[in-house]
């Protein structure tokens, strides 16, 4: 297939060695009736040109809010960026004018959402919608814009693309609609594609086809991809690097192979145990992580995972660990991309990660504190603990 555009031509890593996207200490809050929701709490990461980065974590951990903040698409007035910087290809996105930001969205950074119907206009043909995107960003005439639309639909594997320009979104199956939305995201040859749960609404076979499509088109166009999902299984075969989020923090990051082979953060250990592993015969029972994420309006002083963590030690209850080399008490700065980092005072060993529990029947600090409280209450009441 001919390349209709080539993001790789100018999307190489910047001459100063910088990344395509640099996010530093990003913080986002929402005002709500129950108080301030601390949705993103000092997130720092990079995306290199052409890279496939996975962002995983349970529902509500801040995956979507992080990407919406990058694109300045937070719902207003509730959502607010309260700190940090976002630099894309050398441009400070948080201080970019509104018009320049609109032009950047779609042309340089595009997003694919879970539900295509939220991005496609139900009363306009897909041909019109694609042409509109091209003409909003270029001076191309209608015929040329239509030609680009046809080529992009062919790129995403839509059969009979020319004829289908006249169809409305409801005339496509779910999988085909998702292809149209991917075409819409790709039509301007963006350097970065943010795919937020792009396959959750689809059945399993179509899911695999769409993931494969995203990987293939990213390769063909040179776009970097940030793939957001709550499913570690999805990112396993697709990404080069993974970031695990919990309660608005990045709690672990490593290359995909390293993270699967040597998870260090107890939350990652739990996530890994909650998916079936083909290399283990696929027969293992799925183990949901017990407990619930913290209330983001009242974040604890210590590690936000402590109430659910069997590895918790006393320090975990009072100090939130920085993202650093596993076992180090210092935050990691200036380390090479792909370096394995975890935010944990008492990371799991390989044996513990395999077993899914700490060695020697360790009682977590939270459990120990609970037992102590129960014993004290029993003593105060004059009953045997």
Ligand X SMILES: Nc1ncnc2c1ncn2[C@@H]1O[C@H](COP(=O)(O)OP(=O)(O)OP(=O)(O)O)[C@@H](O)[C@H]1O
Of the pair 4, 117, the CB lying nearest Mg ion is at 117
Nearest distance, CB of residue 61 and ligand X, angstroms? 4
DSSP string, 105-118: HHHTEEEE-S-GGG
DSSP string, 140-198: --HHHHHHHHHHHHHHTT-TTHHHHTT--GGGS-HHHHHHHHHHHHHTT--SEEEEEST
Nearest distance, CB of residue 77 and ligand X, angstroms? 10
User: Residues 65 to 104: which contact ligand X by CB under 6 A?
Assistant: 65, 75, 78-79
Q: Give Cα separations from 308 to 59, 226, 266, 294 (angstroms).
A: 16, 28, 9, 10
Nearest distance, CB of residue 318 and ligand SF4, angstroms? 11
User: Residues 62 to 81: which contact Mg ion by CB under 5 A?
Assistant: 64
Q: Which helix (H) or strand (E) holds 211?
A: helix 204-221
The correct pick among 266, 270, 293, 294 for binding ligand SF4 (CB under 6 A) is 266
Check residue 118 for interaction with ligand X (CB under 6 A).
Answer: no
Hey, is 259 helix, strand or coil?
helix
Q: Give Cα separations from 132 to 3, 15, 128, 316, 327 (angstroms).
A: 21, 34, 6, 53, 52
User: Residues 287 to 306: which contact ligand SF4 by CB under 6 A?
Assistant: 303, 305-306
**How many residues at the interface with ligand SF4, by CB under 6 A?**
13
Check residue 246 for interaction with ligand SF4 (CB under 6 A).
Answer: no
Of the pair 224, 296, the CB lying nearest ligand X is at 296
> What gap in Å lies between CA 324 and CA 215, rounded to an integer?
30
Check residue 353 for interaction with ligand SF4 (CB under 6 A).
Answer: no
- Order of all β-strands in the sheet with 35-47: 35-47, 21-32, 79-88, 91-92
Q: Do residues 262 and 268 lie in contact, with contact meaning Cβ atoms separated by under 8 Å?
A: no
Residue the block writes with tokens 């293939």: 216
Check residue 256 for interaction with Mg ion (CB under 5 A).
Answer: no
Check residue 346 for interaction with ligand SF4 (CB under 6 A).
Answer: yes
Check residue 63 for interaction with ligand X (CB under 6 A).
Answer: yes
The correct pick among 2, 59, 118, 333 for binding ligand X (CB under 6 A) is 59
Partners of 111 in beta bridges: 194
Question: Which tokens in the block code for residue 279?
Answer: 């290399």
Instruction: Return the exposure string of 327-353: e unless at least 16 CB atoms fall within 10 Å of the residue's CB, then b.
Output: eeeeebeeeeeeebbbbbbbbbeeebb
Check residue 225 for interaction with ligand X (CB under 6 A).
Answer: no
Nearest distance, CB of residue 246 and Mg ion, angstroms? 14
Of the pair 63, 177, the CB lying nearest ligand X is at 63
Of the pair 61, 111, the CB lying nearest ligand X is at 61
User: Residues 182 to 241: which contact Mg ion by CB under 5 A?
Assistant: none
Q: Is the torsion defined by CA of 305, 306, 307, 311 positive or negative?
A: positive
Partners of 194 in beta bridges: 111, 226
Check residue 316 for interaction with ligand X (CB under 6 A).
Answer: no
Of the pair 73, 313, the CB lying nearest ligand X is at 73
Check residue 247 for interaction with ligand SF4 (CB under 6 A).
Answer: no
Of the pair 225, 316, the CB lying nearest Mg ion is at 225
Q: Which stretch binds ligand X (CB under 6 A): 12-20, 56-64, 205-213, 327-335?
A: 56-64
Find the helix packing angle between 174-186 and 142-155, rounded to 10°: 130
Of the pair 8, 64, the CB lying nearest Mg ion is at 64
Nearest distance, CB of residue 286 and ligand X, angstroms? 18
User: Residues 244 to 303: which contact ligand X by CB under 6 A?
Assistant: 296
Which spans of this chain sit near Mg ion (rule: CB under 5 A)? 64
Which spans of this chain sit near ligand SF4 (rule: CB under 6 A)? 265-266, 303, 305-306, 309, 311-312, 316, 321, 344-346
């Amino acid at each position: 297939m001919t390349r209709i555009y080539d993001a790789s031509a100018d999307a190489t890593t910047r001459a100063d060695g910088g990344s395509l996207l640099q996010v530093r200490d990003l913080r986002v809050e929402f005002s709500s009736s129950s108080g301030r929701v601390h949705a993103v709490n000092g997130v720092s990461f990079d995306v290199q040109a052409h890279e496939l980065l996975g962002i995983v974590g349970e529902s509500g951990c801040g995956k979507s809010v992080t990407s919406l903040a990058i694109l300045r698409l937070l719902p207003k007035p509730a959502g607010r960026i309260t700190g940090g910087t976002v630099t894309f290809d050398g441009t400070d996105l948080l201080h970019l004018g509104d018009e320049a930001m609109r032009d950047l969205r779609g042309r340089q950074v595009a997003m694919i959402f879970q539900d295509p119907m939220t991005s496609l206009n139900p009363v306009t043909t897909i041909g019109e919608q694609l042409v509109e995107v091209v003409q909003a960003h270029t001076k191309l005439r209608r015929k040329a814009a239509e030609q680009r639309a046809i080529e992009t639909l062919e790129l995403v594997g839509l059969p009979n693309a020319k004829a289908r320009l006249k169809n409305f979104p409801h005339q496509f199956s779910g999988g085909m609609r998702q292809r149209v939305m991917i075409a819409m995201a790709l039509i301007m040859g963006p350097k970065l594609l943010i795919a937020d749960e792009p396959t959750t609404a689809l059945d399993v076979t179509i899911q695999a086809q769409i993931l494969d499509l995203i990987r293939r088109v990213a390769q063909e166009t040179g776009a970097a991809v940030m793939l957001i999902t709550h499913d570690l299984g999805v990112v396993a075969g697709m990404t080069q690097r993974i970031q695990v989020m919990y309660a608005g923090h990045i709690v672990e990051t490593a290359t995909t192979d390293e993270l699967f082979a040597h998870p260090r953060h107890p939350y990652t250990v739990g996530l890994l145990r909650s998916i079936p592993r083909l290399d283990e015969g696929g027969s293992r029972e799925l183990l949901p992580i017990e407990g619930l994420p913290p209330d983001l309006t009242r974040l604890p002083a210590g590690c936000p995972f402590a109430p659910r963590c069997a590895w918790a030690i006393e320090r975990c209850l009072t100090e939130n660990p920085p993202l650093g080399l596993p076992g180090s008490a210092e935050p990691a700065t200036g380390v090479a991309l792909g370096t394995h980092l975890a935010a944990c005072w008492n990371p799991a060993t390989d044996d513990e990660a395999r077993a899914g529990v700490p060695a020697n029947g360790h009682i977590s600090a939270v459990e120990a504190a609970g037992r102590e409280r129960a014993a004290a209450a029993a003593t105060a009441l004059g009953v045997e603990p």
